[in-house]
Structure 1
């Protein structure tokens, strides 16, 4: 009788273990994509071109992805205007499930990291300090793919060139909805770099030349006109200044895809200390790469050798 009971108990135990293992197997995600994945969050920028601006600072009090806040994050004041040419500021790390992010939130503070106001401001070349924003919650529109079993890096591109406007001697951010739309969020694993050199920058006949990169087929001549927020080239994916001395420029964190490149010349036309758009620049390349349509691949660099041939429309 004892042997028979033990046999029944062993059969029952085996059945329970089999069912338990089957349930565990059914919960596993394919290709190791289940579970939380370490994800670091960085901030970068495309700068503003204004001869009156010395530096631009923002203060971030909270960072959240998919509703989850970076627990160790403390209120941080960042000189965002210095984060150019691929430079980044580490904001913190989260554990995120593989998949696509549903929301990314930055909270801008009305006071800086020391508790003094303002938290978001411009330092002008004459030593002045101007507030550009009070406390604001920014809900970034871009969704980012998070990969399983790897270290993910989300880069937030603030793009001050599209986000800061000057009216007279005062500065401000564009509207909150426009600012949220201007901030790009990408996974660095999905991005490449565009670099270039212009051999004759003087042909642009301007104080500053900016290289604007657009998604292929999305540029039209009306982009050179200011939108209702007062911003030129508002639909550009990203941009960079062409060095007057070397002719070099760099555009980082471009998601894998097809793009086109355009150049615009700027000068202080009315002597008010602010650069105004002058004209588009006629540009060409001797390589097989067409400026009106080329591909950027992930983890790669596209290098362009460019020549200017005067201004367009003249």
Structure 2
């Protein structure tokens, strides 16, 4: 007797990029496969990943999958042409309207992060394409020049989670002393943050805060942030200060913060479908 299969929807989301001159990041996905099977209902699509932040998603397609663990998603990108046939297919759009083409050494990205399909009527698998980890700006050039990171870093910068078993941390960060031009909040699995390592660029592409699960920029009238689609577990929050230098923001210091409700920001327990409110006040720099 064949095992029962369950309808599984695949969606894409993003964590933000740290550059004030970037208006949009368009990526053209020509194929999505799970364990070698193409998603049903998927059509070649061009996404503005920079718009899919703070929990926003777009649907890729569906598959009937048996309950269990999976760890083989393949995204194929088209660097040359977008879904409408225009060039290029993957690019950064700058504030002045200029397009800077994005390319990598291969077109197929193998995502090996594990996700679960449950024996239930609803399974939504979130593919988090973290722009902060997957795109780099070449230094020492007169104009903006962006590229994808190495293929191994590109695969590592994309995570997957079943949205039915994910939670969220959101809140506001009040900065009464105006310590920063920009504040970014990073979520780490408890005990994994090492300031000496994370404050420096890591890997071939010098990715900072490389081991953070996800991040969110503090923004808006309420100085809000949203850390979405967190797998069940314990997390710690790290707040970082950035100063603007031309079109870019550079890391300056880690921030001292206090929870306004007494929440222990070093041990936040996330369970499925739970939203934790973590409002803080910035008290200084470390």
Band of TM-score, shorter chain? over 0.9
* TM-score normalised over the length of structure 1: 0.85
Contact 2:169–2:276 (CA under 8 A) maintained in structure 1: yes
The structural deviation recorded for 1:164 is 1.4
- Is the partner of 1:249 in helix, strand or coil? strand
Check if 1:173 corresponds to 2:142.
no
CA distance in 2 between counterparts of 1:124 and 1:257 reads 37
Check if 1:247 corresponds to 2:211.
no
CA distance in 2 between counterparts of 1:41 and 1:203 reads 43
Contact 1:208–1:244 (CA under 8 A) maintained in structure 2: no
- Whose radius of gyration is greater, 1 or 2? 1
List per-residue Cα deviations over 1:281-306 (Å, max 9, x = no partner): 11111434211111011111110121
CA distance in 2 between counterparts of 1:202 and 1:230 reads 32
Distance change (3 Å), C-alpha of 1:214 and 1:102: closer
Correspondence 1:165-244 to 2 at 5 A: 165-168=136-139, 169-199=144-174, 201-203=175-177, 205-221=179-195, 222-228=197-203, 229-243=205-219
Structure with more strand by fraction: 2
**Higher mean Cα deviation, 93-102 or 283-292?**
283-292
Superposed structure 1 runs of 4+ greater than 3 Å apart: none
List per-residue Cα deviations over 1:60-104 (Å, max 9, x = no partner): 001111211014322100111000111101111111111111411
* CA RMSD between the two structures: 1.5
Contact 2:13–2:128 (CA under 8 A) maintained in structure 1: yes
- Is the partner of 1:158 in helix, strand or coil? strand
Unaligned ranges ≥5, structure 1: 1-26, 29-33
The residue aligned with 1:3 is none
The structural deviation recorded for 1:244 is 5.8
* TM-score normalised over the length of structure 2: 0.93
CA distance in 2 between counterparts of 1:304 and 1:129 reads 38
List per-residue Cα deviations over 1:42-73 (Å, max 9, x = no partner): 00001112111111100000111121101432
The residue aligned with 1:267 is 243
List per-residue Cα deviations over 1:177-224 (Å, max 9, x = no partner): 11101101000011001011223x243522110000000000011201
Give the number of equivalent residue pairs: 278
- Is the partner of 2:221 in helix, strand or coil? coil
CA distance in 1 between counterparts of 2:120 and 2:213 reads 29
The residue aligned with 1:75 is 44
The structural deviation recorded for 1:167 is 1.7
The residue aligned with 2:82 is 112
Which of 230, 234, 250 does residue 276 from structure 1 map onto? 250
The residue aligned with 1:125 is 95
The residue aligned with 1:11 is none
The structural deviation recorded for 1:273 is 1.7
Structure with more helix by fraction: 1
**Higher mean Cα deviation, 291-300 or 209-218?**
291-300
Unaligned ranges ≥5, structure 2: none
List per-residue Cα deviations over 1:8-40 (Å, max 9, x = no partner): xxxxxxxxxxxxxxxxxxx47xxxxx3111000
